[in-house]
């Protein structure tokens, strides 16, 4: 009786959405898969227990102590630090550590449009996907916004893949070489992970490696700097509100129809960026006249929750850094002259909150909450009334008491959510529930 060939062994570090996706993919490729996670009950535990035997799930362990015996492939969740001792051991053994996006890029059989940036990248990816489909082009979108990159390979090969890539994912990539690389903007974020803003910017810049075409924001200083580092032969298309650059051909913002369900000048610029990508692909002529029909904005991004007693309530829980909050507030300023009651706070990730002071002329008041709420309060107290809330119900009650008819309550925290909530979606859902419980009658 002939002996069965030994299956290659894969070790996946990190459960969650990415770990599940990697497990499915590697099992389909015939690998013997083990998943390790330092948490006792990580996200995705139930799904992984359905895919793998119990002795292939190493939960609640120190990742530096996980065995590499017999491991052929090491797949690492991008959220894990590159300083893990296990990675040094893997290198010594000649085992390459990769993330799921690197595997995807090696296997993808269609051109990739890669989008990164500090803010606006999820909305931009969905806008580009919508326009490509409106032009009759088959596109699959995923990556950081979901579905996970490797899940896209289970679908029939499209004309284009669209990937939203975070700085964490980009750190792990050798040279992405996308057909189109797009950077929305680069402002300080994740400074609890990076040694400096320069390191964060360098991670974002990795998306440009080997790109056939680049799309950049003319209004973003860091993007203009990056353009100077590109090979002379790389075509660069620009978007942004500025029209002062003589060598940049911009699609005029005035020529862009308003996008259903999206507020704010920054979303008009997102729409301009999406059209710039499609134009660079030579597909503009294939767009129908009503090309935004059917597009819906993503939840928790300047989402109108209700209008109560003449006060508009907006959920912008996805604003997890100062730049996102500034974009939301300044974008609304372009739309109307109402005063803002701004809700801020959460896990600040080492950010400098000082730029929020530029919003003071538009503010009626501020409500702060969460781990870094006190830091923000100290910064703004002498300029504007500030109240401190301990939970979401108190946030909404205080904001309702401060707002006057015609005002807008903007929940745009400028912070991450993990100090009190599972994620920004959970935080936004709690805000929406508290607003809807505020009054029995809502005048929409």
Q: Which residues are catalytic?
A: 121, 144, 190
DSSP state of 360: G
Taking phi over 0 as left and psi of -120 to 50 as alpha, with beta for the rest, 23 belongs to alpha
CA distances from 342 to 27, 299, 407, 438, 442 (A): 48, 19, 10, 17, 21
Sheet hosting strand 303-308, strand order edge to edge: 303-308, 311-315, 408-411, 340-344, 363-368, 386-388
* Kind and range of the H or E run holding 306: strand 303-308
Q: Rounded to whole angstroms, how far apart are CA atoms 217 and 167? A: 17
Q: Rounded to whole angstroms, how far apart are CA atoms 125 and 15? A: 25
* Kind and range of the H or E run holding 392: helix 392-402
Q: Rounded to whole angstroms, how far apart are CA atoms 324 and 187? A: 9
Q: Which of 421, 404, 405 is nearest to 413 (CA)?
A: 421
User: 328-346 burial by CB neighbour count: b if 16+ within 10 A, else e?
Assistant: bbebbbeeeebbbbbbbbb
Structure tokens at 400: 């309702």
* Kind and range of the H or E run holding 128: helix 121-134
Structure tokens at 66: 């996980």
Quickly list H helices, 212-298: 221-227, 265-280
Q: What are phi and psi of 426, to 5 degrees?
A: -60, -45
């Amino acid at each position: 009786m002939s002996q069965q060939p030994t299956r290659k062994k894969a070790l996946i570090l990190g459960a969650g959405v990415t770990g599940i996706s990697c497990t499915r993919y590697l099992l389909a490729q015939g690998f013997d898969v083990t998943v390790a996670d330092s948490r006792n009950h990580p996200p995705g535990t139930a799904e992984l227990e359905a895919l793998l035997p119990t002795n292939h799930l190493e939960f609640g362990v120190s990742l530096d102590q996980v065995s590499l015996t017999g491991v052929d492939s090491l797949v690492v969740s991008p959220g894990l630090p590159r300083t893990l001792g296990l990675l040094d051991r893997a290198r010594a053994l000649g085992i390459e550590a990769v993330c799921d996006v690197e595997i995807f890029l090696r296997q993808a059989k269609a051109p990739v449009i890669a989008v990164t940036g500090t803010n606006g990248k999820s909305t931009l990816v969905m806008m580009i996907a919508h326009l490509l489909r409106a032009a009759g082009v088959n596109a699959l979108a995923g990556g950081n916004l979901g579905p996970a990159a490797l899940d896209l390979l289970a679908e029939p090969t499209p004309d284009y893949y669209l990937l939203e890539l975070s700085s964490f994912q980009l750190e792990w990539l050798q040279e992405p070489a996308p057909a189109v690389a797009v950077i929305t903007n680069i402002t300080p974020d994740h400074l609890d992970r990076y040694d400096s803003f320069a390191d964060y910017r360098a991670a974002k810049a990795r998306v440009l490696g080997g790109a056939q075409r680049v799309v950049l924001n003319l209004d973003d200083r860091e993007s203009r700097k990056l353009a100077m580092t590109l090979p002379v032969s790389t075509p660069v298309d620009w978007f942004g509100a500025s029209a002062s650059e003589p060598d940049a051909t911009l699609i005029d913002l005035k020529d862009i129809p308003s996008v259903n369900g999206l507020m704010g000048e920054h979303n008009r610029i997102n729409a301009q960026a999406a059209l710039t990508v499609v134009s660079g692909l030579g597909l503009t002529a294939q767009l129908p006249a009503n090309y935004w029909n059917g597009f819906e904005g993503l939840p928790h991004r300047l989402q109108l929750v209700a209008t109560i007693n003449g006060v508009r309530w907006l959920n912008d829980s996805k604003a997890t850094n100062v730049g996102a909050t500034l974009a939301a507030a300044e974008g609304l300023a372009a739309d109307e002259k109402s005063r803002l009651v701004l809700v801020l706070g959460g896990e600040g990730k080492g950010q400098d909150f000082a730029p929020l002071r530029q919003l003071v002329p538009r503010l009626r008041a501020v409500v702060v909450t969460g781990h870094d709420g006190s830091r923000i309060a100290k910064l703004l107290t002498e300029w504007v009334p500030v109240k401190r809330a301990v939970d979401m119900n108190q946030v909404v009650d205080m904001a309702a008491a401060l707002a006057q008819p015609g005002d807008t309550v903007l929940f745009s925290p400028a912070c991450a959510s993990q100090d009190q909530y599972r994620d920004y979606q959970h935080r936004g859902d709690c805000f929406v529930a508290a607003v809807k419980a505020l009054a029995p009658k809502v005048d929409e």
